[in-house]
């Protein structure tokens, strides 16, 4: 007998409740108050995911001399010119309006200048001060206000501590909702919907040192891949340069945000040298994340690191009062571990932060599957080879809002979705089989995957190492089919980690396979066997499940609005078109 005991019918199903998911819920609910909107969140509403962890801020053009063209070109240059230019243009055009919406409609309060304007601070890789913020706790402000607003909409309901485990497709290949697992009870829920949004937030937690939320496991990208969606830019993993180094602590990797470098913070190696002089003497610490993170990594590997294998970040020369006022959250975080950010250097190192790659979408958040939409870190194309700090939460809220509007219009006149039938039975059997098994070393496999991805598919890569990562991820995926997680379904954390590792191993393989296909260095992807950008035409790497295998291929970049002045060069640009 099928062990599914619950069913939910809804008009719009939103998988994920970060900035993208909550903005989508609000836009859909407000565009058509007669619609039912259901939000599935792996944790608690407003308390889970990565948007809440955003310290730095939100990029948007508000005042001259900044311009939409400048934001657009900065994003392309930072992304190595492989971005989807239509997605980038949508981001920069819509971001200013979304900021005003966050303040005037949803109640966010961002920092102001003495004249009363929204304050914008400098962030790396940008030609203007355009990063809007609430101190260094911007994500908390946004998520608190968005979740409050969601709770005020009577047509929105939340399924908390639940996770989507598979997309449901009808015989014609259209999305009809998702199979959801309640973490508290171990019961499955068939959630049928006329429109479904993937907004589960990516999360490169298959690496050893991470800054993203621990509840992430690239679930949304894995669901999209298994459903047959094409992915892009999976080789592009962002390593943030300043994660805390706390020996023997899980807090290692937690971010000290980019505003420290934007405000004038210095990075020094174990010898006290400001080593960015060797890598980007013009921009120094305000260089892009990919370059600074790689520079820090190389300083350590070449023997110039700190005692615990990191580098120093120092903002004490700004004055303790300034640091404590401007970076309250980070000062508190450092003091929790005996470090005084306001008065001396703090040990930091590169940490795995963000996935630039993901599901292929258009500017209306539509995927290749009818009825399925995607927004935020589950998607690829906006950031290209490297995300600028401050563009992440902007992407989530901009495209989440667009997705909500588009889905509300999409469902008009469409028949209600139906149960996934045999597909549900097959998925439930697959997922519950480990509960009846014993043996295997789940956490040993987890450690092995994290190690091989950090060492072989991390900041510095080569062909041999990437092949090792592919083979190891495949083997781990196969060994998971023999691992048991007994104890029943309710509150079985090992079972949840088994599901997490299943998705992580699958996506790790795609990351390494895509990195093998990019035989150059660009943005966050650095291969020491191909250390320079290719002089050939710009291309993207795509991957899709075909006949049970991962097909990987390349396609030319569509330069629809602007082009780099020289092939393979990203420092010179021509004007943006209309």
Neighbouring CB atoms inside 10 A of 351's CB total 25
Alpha helices in 4-84 (DSSP H): 19-31, 68-78
From residue 253, alpha-carbon distances to 194, 302, 483 in Å are: 40, 21, 29
Query: Which residues are CB-contacts of 529 (< 8 A; sequence separation ≥ 6)?
Result: 462, 463
The residues pairing with 349 across neighbouring beta strands, listed in sequence order, are 243
Helices and strands in the chain: count of H runs, count of E runs: 14, 18
From residue 220, alpha-carbon distances to 40, 104, 204, 449 in Å are: 12, 31, 12, 19
Beta strand segments in 202-327, E: 231-232, 237-244, 266-268, 311-314
| Rounded-to-integer distance, Cα 55 and Cα 534, Å | 35
3-state DSSP assignment of residue 218: coil
495 neighbors 485 (Cβ within 8 angstroms): yes
* Per-residue exposure over 19-36, b if at least 16 CB sit within 10 Å of its own CB, e if not: bbbbbbbbbbbbebeebb
Of the residues 71, 98, 176, 240, only one is catalytic, namely 240
Distance of CA 213 to the CA centre of its chain: 10
Neighbouring CB atoms inside 10 A of 322's CB total 15
The closest of 555, 200, 224, 560 to 361, measured between CA atoms, is 224
The closest of 368, 387, 367 to 377, measured between CA atoms, is 387
Alpha helices in 83-137 (DSSP H): 85-104
Could you confirm whether 261 is annotated as catalytic?
A: yes
Could you confirm whether 240 is annotated as catalytic?
A: yes
Q: Look at the block and give the residue holding tokens 């041999």.
A: 464
Of the residues 130, 176, 194, 261, only one is catalytic, namely 261
From residue 19, alpha-carbon distances to 13, 48, 54 in Å are: 15, 11, 10
Residues belonging to the active site: 240, 261
């Amino acid at each position: 007998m099928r062990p599914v005991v619950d069913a939910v019918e809804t008009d719009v199903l939103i998988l994920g409740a970060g900035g993208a998911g909550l903005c989508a819920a609000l836009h859909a609910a407000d565009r058509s108050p007669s619609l039912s909107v259901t939000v599935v969140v792996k944790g608690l509403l407003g308390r889970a995911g990565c948007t809440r962890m955003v310290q730095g801020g939100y990029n948007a053009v508000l005042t001259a001399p900044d311009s939409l063209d400048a934001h657009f070109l900065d994003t392309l240059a930072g992304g190595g010119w492989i971005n989807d230019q239509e997605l980038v243009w949508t981001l920069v055009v819509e971001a200013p309006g979304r900021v005003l919406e966050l303040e005037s409609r949803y109640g966010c309060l961002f920092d102001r200048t003495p004249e009363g304007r929204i304050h914008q601070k400098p962030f790396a890789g940008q030609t203007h001060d355009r990063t809007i913020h609430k101190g260094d706790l911007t994500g908390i402000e946004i998520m608190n206000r968005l979740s409050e607003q969601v709770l005020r909409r009577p047509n929105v309901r939340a399924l908390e501590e639940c996770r989507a485990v598979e997309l449901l497709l009808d015989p014609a290949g259209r999305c009809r909702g998702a199979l959801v697992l309640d973490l508290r009870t171990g019961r499955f829920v068939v959630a049928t919907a006329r429109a479904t949004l993937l907004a589960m937030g990516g999360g490169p937690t298959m690496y050893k040192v991470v800054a993203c939320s621990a509840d992430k496991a690239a679930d949304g990208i894995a669901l999209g891949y298994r459903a047959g969606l094409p992915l892009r830019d999976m080789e592009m993993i962002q390593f943030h340069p300043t994660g805390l180094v706390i020996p023997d602590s899980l807090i290692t990797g937690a971010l000290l945000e980019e505003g420290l470098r934007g405000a004038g913070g210095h990075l020094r190696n174990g010898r006290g040298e400001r080593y960015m002089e060797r890598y980007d003497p013009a921009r120094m610490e305000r260089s892009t994340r990919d370059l600074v993170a790689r520079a820090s990594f190389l300083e350590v590997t070449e023997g110039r690191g700190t005692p615990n294998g990191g580098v120093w970040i120092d903002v004490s020369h700004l004055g303790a009062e300034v640091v404590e006022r401007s970076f309250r959250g980070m000062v508190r975080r450092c003091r929790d571990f005996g470090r005084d950010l306001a008065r001396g250097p703090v040990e930091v190192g590169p940490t795995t932060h963000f996935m630039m790659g993901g599901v292929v979408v258009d500017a209306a958040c539509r995927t290749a599957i009818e009825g399925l939409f995607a927004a935020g870190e589950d998607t690829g194309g906006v950031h290209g080879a490297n995300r600028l700090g401050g563009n992440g939460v902007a992407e989530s809220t901009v495209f989440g809002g667009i997705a909500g509007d588009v889905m509300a219009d999409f469902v008009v006149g469409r028949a209600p979705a139906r149960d996934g039938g045999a597909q549900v039975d097959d998925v439930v059997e697959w997922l519950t089989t480990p509960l009846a098994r014993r043996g295997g070393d789940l956490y040993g496999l987890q450690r092995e995957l994290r190690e091989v991805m950090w060492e072989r598919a991390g900041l510095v890569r080569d062909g041999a190492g990437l092949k090792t990562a592919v083979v190891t991820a495949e083997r781990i995926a196969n060994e998971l089919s023999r691992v048991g997680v007994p104890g029943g379904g309710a509150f079985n954390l090992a079972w949840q980690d088994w599901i997490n590792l299943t998705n992580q191993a699958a996506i790790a393989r795609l990351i390494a396979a895509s990195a093998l296909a990019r035989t150059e260095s660009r943005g966050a992807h650095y291969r020491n066997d191909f250390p320079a950008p290719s002089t050939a035409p710009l291309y993207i790497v795509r991957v899709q499940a075909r006949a049970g295998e991962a097909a990987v291929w390349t396609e030319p970049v569509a330069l629809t609005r602007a082009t780099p002045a020289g092939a393979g060069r990203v420092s010179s640009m021509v004007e943006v078109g209309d």
